[in-house]
């Protein structure tokens, strides 16, 4: 959403004084990483006129994902179109215990300034406060294709993967249980259900999966498959998949575990700790997975993610 002047309520909430000249909205778009402490990173995007900001806060051991929120761009007067002269961009995040309003009000060169206004809503008695952060554009690298520039993705997790050869996997009965095996190493187990293992083998070979990866073992919160270090893409006839939005994932404390939520709805992934749940989100966002797929439900004998 793009607005031409500050709403009265917003102006009452904070006052922006910027020495920076306004810039076209497109100049604000992109990925930013921290220049000073306060935020880990953020990205500003505009899809079909729908402006949004995705934020990662500073948490230990991994950054905490605030998710994506709709944003509004402002110019310096009611007579100026912010698409051509943006002075500030604002988005608000409801984190349950508090609302955080992010104000981007200064961009020059490859740097940008952010102010985070925290208003506590949990009746804890804590005082509201504002913090100020400097961010810089994420580094860009040239691809082997001349003239094409892409942002370098930030891999903020440690990968736990085992290798396999999709061309040699087979379905075998081991001690009365049907499994997908790669040599002496078994990959999947469907008990008495051979048809599920036959289909799992077909999927592995269709996508040429050669890495099976995990978040948390021996009881992983996430199991995913890669094709030479990349997310699989395409489709397989008759797949059982649900959609996920890698840019709108958040964590809910469900008491005995933490649940990954996509677009405000409960999602299939759970983790024993908030840190492990955050790592699940980091993996999904890094690879840009948009589909979560299964062989056999409920209690799938195989699950995988793809674009």
The pLDDT value recorded for residue 247 is 82
In the chain, which residues fall in CATH 2.40.128?
A: 8-151
The pLDDT value recorded for residue 138 is 76
The pLDDT value recorded for residue 152 is 53
The pLDDT value recorded for residue 12 is 37
CA-based nearest residue to 24, from 69, 79, 78, 80: 80
CA-based nearest residue to 189, from 173, 202, 203: 173
As given in the structure block, the two tokens for residue 92 are: 């608000």
CATH of 8-151, one of 3.30.390, 1.10.10, 2.40.128, 3.10.590: 2.40.128
Q: What is the 3-state secondary structure (H, E, C) of 201-252?
A: HHHHHHHCCCEEEEECCCCCCEEEEEECCECCCCCCCCCEEEECCCCCEEEE
Name the E strands within 75-125.
88-94, 98-108, 111-120
CA distance 186 to 292: 22
CA distance 85 to 80: 7
pTM score, whole prediction: 0.53
What digits encode the pLDDT tens for the residues 247-275?
888 888 888 889 888 766 666 688 999 98
The pLDDT value recorded for residue 7 is 37
Ranges of the chain whose pLDDT falls below 70:
1-21, 139-154, 263-268
CA-based nearest residue to 233, from 286, 148, 158, 305: 305
The pLDDT value recorded for residue 16 is 45
The pLDDT value recorded for residue 106 is 80
DSSP 305: E
Give every CB contact of residue 256 below 8 A, 6+ residues apart in sequence.
none
Q: How far apart are the first and last CA of the chain?
A: 28
CA distance 303 to 229: 18
Neighbour-count burial for 246-282, b at 16+ CB within 10 Å, e otherwise: bbbbbbbeeeeebbbbbeeeebebbbeeebbbbbbbb
CA-based nearest residue to 54, from 135, 140, 143: 135
């Amino acid at each position: 959403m793009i607005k031409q002047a500050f709403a009265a309520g917003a102006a009452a909430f904070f006052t922006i004084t910027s020495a920076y000249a306004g810039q076209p909205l497109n100049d604000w778009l992109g990925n930013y990483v921290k220049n000073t402490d306060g935020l880990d990173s953020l990205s500003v995007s505009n899809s079909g006129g729908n402006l949004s900001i995705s934020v990662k806060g500073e948490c230990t051991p991994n950054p905490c994902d605030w998710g994506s929120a709709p944003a509004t761009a402002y110019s310096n007067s009611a007579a100026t179109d912010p698409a051509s002269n943006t002075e500030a961009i604002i988005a608000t995040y409801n984190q349950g215990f508090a609302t955080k309003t992010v104000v981007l009000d200064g961009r020059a060169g490859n740097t940008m300034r952010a102010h985070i206004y925290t208003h506590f809503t949990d009746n804890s008695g804590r005082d509201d406060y504002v913090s100020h952060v400097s961010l810089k554009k994420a580094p860009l690298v040239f691809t082997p294709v001349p003239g094409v520039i892409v942002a370098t993705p930030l891999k903020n997790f440690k990968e736990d993967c085992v290798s396999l050869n999709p061309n040699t996997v087979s379905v075998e009965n081991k001690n009365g249980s049907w499994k997908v095996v790669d040599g002496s190493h078994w990959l999947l187990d469907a008990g008495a259900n051979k048809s599920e293992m036959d289909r799992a083998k077909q999927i592995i070979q269709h996508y040429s999966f050669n890495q099976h990866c995990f978040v948390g073992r021996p009881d992983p919160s996430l199991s995913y498959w890669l094709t030479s270090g990349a997310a699989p893409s395409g489709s397989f006839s008759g797949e059982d998949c649900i959609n996920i939005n890698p840019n709108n994932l958040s964590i809910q404390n469900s008491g005995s575990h933490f649940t990954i939520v996509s677009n405000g709805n409960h999602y299939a992934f759970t983790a024993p700790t908030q840190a492990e749940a955050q790592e699940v989100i980091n993996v999904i966002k890094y690879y840009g997975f948009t589909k979560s797929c299964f062989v056999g439900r409920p209690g799938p004998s195989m699950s995988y993610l793809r674009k």
